């Protein structure tokens, strides 16, 4: 799971970073709204946690912008006790949930998990399904018809990214940011290697990874 936190309270960022890492959740964070919007627009996150009161651009403005861009990533808003209007506005703009400060950090973690479960439309237990392909993310297993393939961690992360949103084109930059992080120097050749391996494993299925020339890749029906 990859989560974006846009929050300007350094103590809260530190506490969440520690808790999320302990629970094997990758956390990127931005300390102002301008940087938060740049991160959110990458569309590589499973959940975005947005504080409403931020320097430069408010959390509500970030939410408004990404929803305009058809980014459907679940968003959890962090709000103060006395801002009922902001909470209502956030929900109207497309927020999926909100939490009032101060809150128990464990509750935030539970809500994030709940949002990721809600996000999956074709979820079978711990598995993701598209047409005749099933991906078991817990065990990094790809199942096509009567075949089962063991995937490496990076192959699995790429397969999960694609199968969660069939038909969506992911740019090479989005894939690199998702699999290796925002500050990596990994080249696009690395992506092509993992795409090649996955294509071989999908050969017997009705599913293929399509190349969108000059942009990136998407998962679709043959």
pLDDT on residue 89 = 82
pLDDT on residue 92 = 84
Which is more confidently placed, 142 or 182?
A: 142
For residues 73 and 139, state if they share a domain. no
Sign of CA dihedral 50, 55, 56, 60: positive
Which is more confidently placed, 81 or 204?
A: 204
Q: Which of 119, 136, 152 is the last residue of a domain?
A: 119
pLDDT band at 103 (very low <50, low <70, confident <90, very high): confident
Distance set, CA 95 to CA 5, 58, 62, 74, 89 (Å): 14, 14, 11, 7, 9
- pLDDT at residue 95 above 60? yes
Number of domains in the chain: 2
pLDDT on residue 133 = 94
For residues 78 and 157, state if they share a domain. no
For residues 129 and 112, state if they share a domain. no
For residues 115 and 26, state if they share a domain. yes
Average pLDDT of span 166-187: 82
- pLDDT at residue 180 above 70? yes
Pick the range with the lowest mean pLDDT from 68-77, 114-123, 193-202: 114-123
For residues 110 and 187, state if they share a domain. no
Question: 217: which 2 tokens?
Answer: 């890749």
For residues 130 and 208, state if they share a domain. yes
For residues 115 and 128, state if they share a domain. no
For residues 217 and 128, state if they share a domain. yes
Q: How far apart are CA 58 and CA 53, in angstroms?
A: 6
Q: Which of 76, 91, 119 is the last residue of a domain?
A: 119
For residues 68 and 128, state if they share a domain. no
pTM: 0.67
- pLDDT at residue 75 above 80? yes
Taking only the tens place, the pLDDT of each residue in 110-119 is 889 888 776 5
CATH of the domain at 178: 1.10.10.10
- pLDDT at residue 70 above 90? no
For residues 44 and 91, state if they share a domain. yes
**Residue 4 CB burial class (10 angstroms; 0-12, 13-18, ≥19):** buried
pLDDT band at 139 (very low <50, low <70, confident <90, very high): confident
For residues 7 and 113, state if they share a domain. yes
Average pLDDT of span 149-167: 90
- pLDDT at residue 7 above 60? yes
Rg, the chain, Cα only = 18
Taking only the tens place, the pLDDT of each residue in 28-50 is 999 999 999 999 998 889 899 99
Name the residue range of residue 163's domain.
123-221
For residues 11 and 66, state if they share a domain. yes
Q: Which of 98, 119, 140 is the last residue of a domain?
A: 119
- pLDDT at residue 182 above 60? yes
pLDDT on residue 159 = 94
């Amino acid at each position: 799971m990859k989560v974006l936190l846009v929050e300007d309270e350094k103590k809260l960022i530190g506490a969440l970073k520690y808790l999320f890492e302990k629970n094997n959740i990758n956390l990127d964070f931005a300390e102002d709204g301008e940087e938060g919007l740049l991160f959110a627009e990458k569309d590589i996150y499973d959940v975005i946690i947005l504080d409403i009161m931020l320097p430069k651009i408010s959390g509500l403005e970030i939410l408004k912008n990404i929803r305009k861009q058809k980014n459907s990533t679940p968003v959890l808003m962090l709000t103060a006790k006395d801002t009922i209007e902001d909470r209502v506005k956030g929900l109207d703009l497309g927020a999926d949930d909100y939490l009032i400060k101060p809150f128990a950090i464990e509750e935030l973690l539970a809500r994030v998990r709940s949002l990721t479960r809600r996000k999956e439309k074709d979820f079978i237990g711990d598995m993701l399904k598209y047409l005749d392909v099933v991906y078991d993310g817990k065990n990094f297993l790809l199942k096509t018809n009567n075949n089962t393939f063991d995937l490496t961690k990076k192959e699995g992360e790429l397969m999960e990214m694609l199968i969660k949103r069939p038909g969506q084109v992911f740019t090479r930059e989005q894939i690199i940011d998702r699999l290796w992080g925002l500050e990596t120097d990994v080249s696009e050749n690395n992506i092509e290697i993992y795409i090649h391996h996955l294509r071989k494993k999908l050969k017997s299925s009705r599913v293929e990874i399509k190349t969108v020339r000059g942009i990136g890749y998407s998962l679709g029906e043959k």
